Amino acid sequence: MVSFYLKTGEVRRSAGLSVAAAFFLFGLSQPVSAQIPSNQIPPKGVNKIVRTLLPSWQVGDLDKKLSQMCSLGRFNQRVPYKYSAHFQGPNGAAMVGGAKGSGLNLVDPTGARQQGRDYWFYRDRTSNCIVYSAKVKPEQSAIQPPRS
């Protein structure tokens, strides 16, 4: 399973092409069901990770150094928008492409990536590229039952 993280919550996606996205937001006034209407979940074969009404800049923290490297073609998505998040709200509507610090969907010849981060690209492969990063939350290990 491939998991991507946004600054404000967690997004999970299965390793296949079918979309099994869950978007958990913390501290919002709207319930999660209001964030992803069932009639807007993309069909199988579409690589959307999440659709939300939030502004696109809440996907992570702006990284100026990586944004400059992205503009120069030194830190980019391997396949643009293979993994993407669609922000469709009235403020900050945009689509960003995703990559992982592990190297999934990432071109990083200089080794600038960090293992515990997810990277989100806005306007990748342009001179105005913006890179946001979000810290990956550690996986919850299963609680072991007491041994008798």
- pLDDT tens, position by position, 23-67: 322 233 333 334 444 444 444 444 667 788 888 888 999 999 999
Say yes or no to pLDDT of 9 above 80: no
Q: In the structure, what pLDDT confidence band is assigned to residue 134 with cuts at 50, 70 and 90?
A: very high
Q: In sequence order, which residues have a C-beta less than 8 Å from that of residue 140 and are 6 or more positions away?
A: none
Burial bucket for residue 135 (CB in 10 Å: 0-12, 13-18, 19+): middle
> Pick from 38, 44, 47, 52: which is nearest to 8 by CA?
52
Residue bearing the bigger pLDDT, 96 or 43: 96
Q: Can you give the residue ranges of every domain in the chain? A: 2-135
> Pick from 67, 135, 68: which is nearest to 101 by CA?
135
What tokens appear for 20 in the block?
């099994």
Beta bridge partners of residue 31, listed in sequence order: none
pLDDT, residue 18, reads 30
When pLDDT is averaged across residues 96-102 and rounded to a whole number, the result is 93
Beta bridge partners of residue 117, listed in sequence order: 135
Beta bridge partners of residue 134, listed in sequence order: 118
> Can you tell me which residue has the tokens 């709207």?
30
Query: SS3 breakdown of the chain: % helix, strand, coil, rounded to 5?
Result: 15, 30, 55
∠ CA 117-121-123, nearest 5°, is 170
Residue bearing the bigger pLDDT, 8 or 88: 88
CA distances (Å), 99 to each of 29, 39, 143, in order?
A: 29, 27, 30
Radius of gyration of the chain (CA): 16
pTM of the model: 0.66
